[in-house]
Chain A
Amino acid sequence: MMQQYQPATSHAPLLEVDNLVVEYPVGARTVHAVSGVSLQIARGETLGLVGESGCGKSTLGRAVLQLRRPTSGKVLFDGQDLTAMQGDTLRLMRRRVQLIFQDPIASLNPRRRIGDIVAEPLMIAGVKDPAKRKQLVDEVLAAVGLDPALVVGRLPHEFSGGQCQRICIARALVLNPEFIICDEPVSALDVSIRAQILNLLEEMKSRFGLTLLFIAHDLAVVKAVSDRVAVMYLGRLCEVGPSEQLFAKPAHPYTALLIEAIPVPDPDVRPTETVRVGEPPSPIAPPSGCRFRTRCPRADARCSAEMPELRVVAPGQLVACHHPLI
């Protein structure tokens, strides 16, 4: 298993997101889904991206793949700018980056057989030989823990959510990609199945040498698989850091709030009723300055006037806050 954490500076990162902005119109108004996010993900690393729903984390994931075109900013994959690519070049590039979705059943075409679904990426990639395709499909299905002989001829609705997610993972892996964006891959699954899928993702990562962007709203899940974690709030990054460090010593008040809100399965830990005030404001009209200030216990005049930039507070840990906790 890939355990070592590689600092993003050691070599050129596999994925570099530079000042990415995604805005789209809703009626007459504009949703500021992602407002100037910069990230680096090193080869072989898992970056966890957490935030509440509507914070723009899924939009960011799709903007990386150019499924939603960014308003401005750059997405460098292996040194090449995806935002500048069009048509066939982009389609070829997408084969090196794959996506796994939250709802495994909805992400499989209900009228196609599993064998065809998993072979589809190969068809698109131009693997003409049916025997070769069959072999690759069988291999990848076996790798995700499904018996190819029993699975290929069936339709998606014959499988449970957990099995469908395995099929989705198989489809993502069949082209041997370098990078996988997992968009809430386990939040639609039951607790007992969730652990199976998380373990499978970890195993596939080390086996195929993958780099992962793991998007989720559940910090405990993110921590279980990530080397580094980025916390997003209302379109901006609040904090980025190595996972252990970030959870042990959160620097941003929002990270602290998220950690505190996780239900602990221990009756002796009485849930504390403290600062859990309010809900995120609308991304149509985000607050000025620091976007978290409306819910932040430490906010003052400076927070509304001045937007905090990401700065280093500890080795590898960056925070965008005027009044960090460390």
Chain B
Amino acid sequence: MLSVENVAVELPTPRGNLRAVDHVNLTVGAGRTLGVVGESGCGKTMLSRAILQLLPKKAKLSGRVMFDGQDLLQLSPEKLRKLRGRSLAVVFQDPMTSLNPVLTIGTQLIETLQEHLELDQATATKRSVELLAAVGIPAPEQRLTQYPHQLSGGMRQRVAIAIALSCEPKLLIADEPTTALDVTIQAQILDLLAREQRRRHMAMILITHDLGVVAGRTDEVAVMYAGRVVERAPTPALFKKMRMPYTEALLAALPRIDAAPHTPLPAISGRPPDPTRPLKGCSFSPRCRYAVARCHAEKPDLAEAETPAHQYACFHPIENHAGAAA
């Protein structure tokens, strides 16, 4: 459905060029969910913008983004605009900023439907009510006349999802859809996304900083660090046998609900590298507990492990002791 081939994004800044995305390859098939995990500043949002062709004007993009057999980089702006919203939809982190505050929810939904599907007013209104009901909004008819600020954060995110789903997209990109929400609401929204994804058999990219979120809800996971994909594997394989020390450290740093209170957390020391000053070696090497001289001098490629689907970029992958160091 979507394949991202060798995509790189560079942003000019006053401090020099910032390599936000560094030659990333990814694929998502129809009906599959890809989780992209990484900390803030690792390039995961820039990657999603690159796929949507919504990068800042100054950004330099290279590579290919193949969607449904067409290269998005070669498409005319007009075709691209038709594609976005219609077959390529996106849900952002903050529904307050992605919804227009001065238009009612009904207007925003109905206009999207009318523009992309060319429905008449009555059909569009009917579809809107159905959509709102499908995303679990009580009393959908009344909601149509309300403004975004009259809804709670969770409800707003549901509306944003309804708008994204309105034109039956083939690919849905959910960029940190639950980061601004409470745990209970987060669970509801993730359930909703998973349910709709299965029902519509669409491809989905779930971008998050929380490994816990992707664990039960994705088919494949790509872990990003400093603009690169450092490990990529089918979800069960990744959690059973993580090879990249960063993935392991990220998982270990999560406070676990089954651990006793006051257990010191195995934190990752230091902080991510400055993206404007590329490191010679592996970008994780300054923080890596296994790093040796070679890691600081040479950049490891994303290579296959025992199965073709499991790839990682590391000279000293963790052997058979996943979790033992944690």
Contacts and interface: CB of A to CB of B under 8 A. Distances in A.
Contacts of A247: 257
Given A191-B250, A262-B257, A199 B184 contact: no
A263 B212 contact: yes
Interface residues on B, range: 35 or more
Contact of A265 (B190, B251, B261): B251
A76 interface: no
Contact of B254 (A202, A220, A258, A270): A220
B218 to A, nearest CB: 8
B119 interface: no
A217 B187 CA distance: 14
A163 B235 CA distance: 33
B151 to A, nearest CB: 10
Contacts of B260: 244
A260 B188 CA distance: 11
B262 A192 contact: no
Interface in A182-201: 190-196, 198-199
A103 interface: no
Interface residues on A, range: 35 or more
A28 B118 CA distance: 44
Residue of A191, A202, A270 with highest tally of chain B CB at under 10 A: A191
Contacts of B187: 260-261, 263, 271, 276
B215 A267 contact: yes
B184 A261 contact: yes
A305 interface: no
B210 A191 contact: yes
Given A227-B261, A261-B186, A191 B209 contact: yes
Interface centre among A3, A195, A219, A266 (most CB of B within 10 A): A195
Interface in B162-187: 182-187
Given A190-B40, A265-B251, A3 B186 contact: no
Given A195-B268, A199-B267, A243-B261, A219 B183 contact: yes
B75 interface: no
B147 interface: no
Interface string B200-211: 000000000111
B214 to A, nearest CB: 8
Contact of A271 (B182, B217, B263, B268): B217
A259 B153 CA distance: 21
Nearest to A160: B271
Given A199-B264, A202-B264, A244-B260, A264 B182 contact: no
18 contacts: A53-B153, A163-B271, A190-B40, A192-B287, A193-B271, A195-B254, A195-B255, A217-B182, A219-B183, A220-B254, A224-B262, A244-B261, A263-B187, A263-B213, A266-B216, A268-B239, A276-B188, A279-B184
Task: Pick the 9 closest A-B CB pairs, nearest first.
Answer: A263-B212, A195-B267, A195-B265, A192-B268, A224-B255, A195-B253, A190-B39, A52-B182, A261-B187
Interface of A: 1-3, 52-53, 160, 162-163, 190-196, 198-199, 202, 217-221, 223-227, 243-244, 247, 257-271, 273, 276, 279
Interface of B: 39-40, 152-155, 182-188, 190-191, 194-195, 209-213, 215-217, 235-236, 239, 249-251, 253-257, 259-269, 271, 287
Given A224-B259, A259-B257, A263-B216, 16 more contacts: A191-B209, A192-B250, A192-B267, A193-B271, A198-B265, A199-B264, A202-B262, A218-B183, A219-B183, A223-B259, A224-B263, A244-B260, A264-B212, A264-B257, A271-B216, A279-B184
